[in-house]
Structure 1
């Protein structure tokens, strides 16, 4: 966020409106953002649940067909038809969940600005707020982690344990299995199939991570906080 911040007039510069009216307007917007954030979380969990249901169904179907065909050519053909569908659903689910995370950050920014406005009206309440009061990165991080993350920081495990990341991991594994099957179907050796599967899985995981990092970096460059810490 290297660009200059926007200068926004404070509430005290507009004395024509009473504090009660200001608080009512701010509260209405706050509840609107809270409801939208709740819908975003609901969609995130629903999409992740649908994807896991598809994966579970695919695993069960593969097990049944494999048992019936002794994991022969018919099983391989069935897997080559089924796994691309699972892979496509996984990619689309990951993209939507990743975008939903960005949308949630936008909602948090709005809620931080509203809390900042509340405390312009009643600054004596500042010690009672544990969520962020500013719309910059520090304020967003405070809202996500409240109090204790200021001291403990964020670990790699926390970064990788989010819903989009877990969906992306399962999708990458699916890509690896599909790569192994395709290589074996065209006459590749067992070793070549395994190596190809690993390469496909790692490559897709890296591509998904790169996509997310680029989108976040683009958003950070374009965003200008109005109430920095």
Structure 2
């Protein structure tokens, strides 16, 4: 085979590779968008249910003069909201890890783009390295991101909302059981803070455990490439 034929075959192979990579990239973008829309809908449903439950408790409390069936109704309804909140939080946590997977996958694709056409590297705002530093740059390519994206994330939002719900539930259960109101709300506040701390700890443990077990295929210059072993 002549050199011209080999060069032509190489160009055709690169063109097909770029086409396949672009198709996969669009598939990842669509999946990421769908997943994020779904979890935002779940959060909206939780907030709607929580608002409706609080209004229902207030109306039933006024109708029953906060006696009779009111304690059972309030405890059961708040318990249901707490369960839905925990399930929503589980989904939000799962989606955060799925989103990390999408970002890693797209960074890998960009690494292939750079391999096929090295000059495109200077035009990329996001990273083409699938290590932790590369993910950080892709999520926040304007510089050091600090902790503001973490504190402002949907995951932290659900932690705070569910912490408040758990604290409210504990306080209401104790108060409707005849416990002193001050003691009930002290337990409620402690439960809310404890729930928030435990949720953050579990999420951080999941995140760091992932990175300890993960081996990048296109790391940055500061890390050695994976040997596959």
Larger radius of gyration: 2
Distance in 1 between the 2:70 and 2:149 partners? 38
Q: CA deviation at 1:16?
A: 8.7
Aligned to 2:69, the other structure's residue is in SS state helix
TM-score normalised by length of structure 1: 0.87
- Which residue matches 1:141? 136
Check conservation: 1:58, 1:86, Cα contact below 8 A.
yes
Alignment match, 2:164: 173
Structure 1 contact 175–200 (Cα < 8 Å) conserved: yes
1:56 to 37, 51, 59: 51
More RCO (CA 8 Å, sep 6+): 1
- Aligned mates of 2:89, 2:191 — CA distance in 1: 17
Report the counterpart of residue 189 of structure 1 in structure 2: 180
Q: What is the TM-score of this pair, normalised by structure 2? A: 0.87
Gaps of at least 5 residues in structure 2 are: 1-8, 221-229
SS at match of 2:192: helix
- 1:81 and 1:203 mapped to 2: Cα distance? 22
Q: CA RMSD in A?
A: 1.7
How many residues are paired up?
212
In structure 2, what is the Cα distance between the partners aligned to 1:54 and 1:108?
Answer: 32
SS at match of 1:207: helix
For 1:71 and 1:167, locate their aligned partners in 2 and report how far apart those are by CA, in whole Å: 30
Query: CA separation in 1, counterparts of 2:175 and 2:54?
Result: 19
Residues 61-101 of structure 1 deviation map (CA, whole Å, 9 limit, x = unaligned): 11211221233353322111100000000001001101100
Task: Extract unaligned runs of 5+ from structure 1.
Answer: 1-13
Equivalent in the alignment of 2:146: 154
Alignment correspondent of 1:44: 39
Are 1:21 and 2:16 counterparts?
A: yes
Match of 2:97 in 1: 102
